[in-house]
Structure formats: structure tokens, C-alpha cells
């Protein structure tokens, strides 16, 4: 478990089982952080999945799941944290989009649509945030994670896994980008970071 690994390395972590498709789970996670640490400094909306396929396949359940996780999950995070950030007079949203938010490829229409929506919502939130809250969009390119596990199209899954293994970035590249945005002074808002492999 991640929390145990963090503790074993000398860090401190609190956790709550969370399904971002359930608003109450996300609210509970934020409440656990506030109870444990007395405040909430940053919320990273990172959950996402991409069971991509051609639209002709009509995998409507996959489309709905991407909307529920990739888009509604981010909105539930905003709904849970925004009142707390407003009451504190500070806070930082880091919303994870994708390079698919900039370029739509065949079989990725719905996934790209959810990530474009995350960018749009994040930009609107940034404009509404005022001078006390920060909003950062991080858009990763292909990264060596297990993102293809939930893929329902076996051909596309195999292609993406091969591409990931050949050119994908290490996940800590994204973690460093997030840390960079968070570490800036309170009056500096890093609006967007796009992180791609050089290959």
C-alpha cells in the first residue's frame, strides 16, 4: 500500500478509499485530509482512464466511464475542496489533463473530449479563483503507467502498450511537474504544464 511505503521512507500519509465517481467518497477524502492536517493546501485531481476505441464500436459503457472518472471526478474534487480553499483564503488545484486535450487522434474522441473539458473547466476556475487560489493544468504525454489495463479493444491496447514501453516517460516526470507548480510562491500561478517524452 502506498501509505505504508511513504511511512517506511520516513514520510507521513493519510488515506481514505476513494472512488472518484462517487461524490461522497471525494468529499470524505478531503475531510480526512483536513481532519488529519488541519487544512488542505493542494488537491490533485489525477484519476483517469482511457478505454479508447473507434466510435463505430459503440462502447457506450466505456464512454460513460471516461466521463464519470475523467470529468465528473474532477468536478467532484472541485466541489469538495473549493469551499475549504475559500474559507482558508488559500489553496491550489492541480488538474491532470493530457496531451490528448490538444490533439484528437482516431479512436480517442471521447477520451480527448473529457481531457479538453478538464482544460476548459480548469481555465474557467482559474479565472474565477481570484488572487488567493491557484489552478494548474498538467497535461502528460505517454507515460509508463498501467493506463492500458482497462482498455477494451485488444488491438489498440497492444499498440499503446508497445508505444508506452518504447517511448513513455517515467511517472516521476509528472510528479516533478506537479511539485514545480506547487513550490512556486503564493503569488505565482503556473497555469499549465505540458510534459511530453522527447522521443
Residues serving a catalytic function are 111
Bridge partners (DSSP) listed for residue 91? 133
Q: How far apart are CA 7 and CA 15, in angstroms?
A: 12
Q: Phi and psi at residue 173, in whole multiples of 5°?
A: -65, -40
Q: How far apart are CA 114 and CA 69, in angstroms?
A: 9
Q: How far apart are CA 157 and CA 150, in angstroms?
A: 9
Q: How far apart are CA 152 and CA 144, in angstroms?
A: 19
Helix (H, G, I), strand (E, B) or coil at 49: coil
Neighbours of 59 (CB within 10 A): 18
Q: How far apart are CA 189 and CA 180, in angstroms?
A: 11
Among candidate residues 70, 77, 74, 72, the one with its CA nearest the CA of residue 33: 77
Distances from the Cα of 38 to the Cα of 34, 58, 84, 149, angstroms: 5, 46, 11, 36
Amino acid at each position: 500500500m502506498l501509505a505504508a511505503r511513504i511511512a517506511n521512507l520516513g514520510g507521513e500519509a493519510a488515506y481514505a478509499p476513494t472512488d472518484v465517481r462517487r461524490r461522497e467518497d471525494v468529499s470524505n477524502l478531503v475531510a480526512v485530509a483536513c481532519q488529519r492536517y488541519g487544512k488542505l493546501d493542494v488537491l490533485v485531481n489525477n484519476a483517469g482512464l482511457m478505454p479508447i476505441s473507434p466510435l463505430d464500436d459503440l462502447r457506450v459503457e466505456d464512454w460513460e466511464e471516461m466521463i464519470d472518472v475523467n470529468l465528473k471526478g474532477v468536478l467532484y474534487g472541485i466541489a469538495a475542496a473549493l469551499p475549504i480553499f475559500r474559507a482558508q483564503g488559500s489553496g491550489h488545484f492541480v488538474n491532470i489533463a493530457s496531451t490528448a486535450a490538444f490533439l484528437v487522434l482516431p479512436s480517442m474522441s471521447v477520451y480527448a473530449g473529457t481531457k479538453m473539458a478538464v482544460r476548459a473547466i480548469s481555465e474557467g476556475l482559474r479565472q474565477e479563483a481570484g488572487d488567493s487560489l491557484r489552478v494548474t493544468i498538467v497535461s502528460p504525454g505517454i507515460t509508463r503507467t498501467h493506463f492500458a489495463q482497462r482498455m477494451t479493444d485488444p488491438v489498440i491496447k497492444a499498440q499503446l502498450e508497445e508505444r508506452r514501453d518504447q517511448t513513455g516517460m517515467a511517472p516521476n516526470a509528472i510528479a516533478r511537474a506537479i511539485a514545480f507548480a506547487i513550490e512556486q510562491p503564493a503569488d505565482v500561478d503556473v497555469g499549465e504544464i505540458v510534459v511530453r517524452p522527447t522521443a
